[in-house]
Structure 1
C-alpha cells in the first residue's frame, strides 16, 4: 500500500480548530474593495466553518488530518 499524498492547495486554504472543525476564510476580500461597504468588508474578514457536504470533499484531499 503506497502512502497517500496531501493536496497542498487544500491544506493551505483550510485549517482545523481545536474542536476538530474545518475552517475557511471568506472570499471577495482581495481586490475591488473601494465599492464595497466597510461593514461588508468586516463581514468578509471572518473565518467560518465549512458545511458537511464540503467537509466530506475536503477530507478526501487531506488524508492525514
Structure 2
C-alpha cells in the first residue's frame, strides 16, 4: 500500500498534541483589530481544540500527525 499524502495546507493550520488532540488557531485576529478589546485580542492567541465532528475529517488530511 502506498504512503498517504499529507495535505500541506492542513498541516500548516492544525497541530497534533502529544496526547492526540488536534488543535487549531482562532480566526478574526488579523483584520479590524483596532475595534477589539485587548482581552479579546489576547484570547485569539490561544489555541483551541477542533470540534469532535470535524476530527475524523482532519485526521484524513494529516494522517501522520504533523505538528
The normalised TM-score by structure 2 is 0.85
Paired residues, number:
65
Question: C-alpha distance in 2, partners of 1:63/1:21?
Answer: 13
Matches within 5 A, 1:8-47: 8-47=8-47
Higher relative contact order (CA closer than 8 Å, sequence separation 6+): 2
Q: Which runs of 5+ in 1 are unaligned?
A: none
Over the residues paired in the alignment, what is the CA RMSD in angstroms? 1.1
The normalised TM-score by structure 1 is 0.88
The match for 1:4 is: 4
Determine if the alignment matches structure 1 residue 60 to structure 2 residue 60.
yes
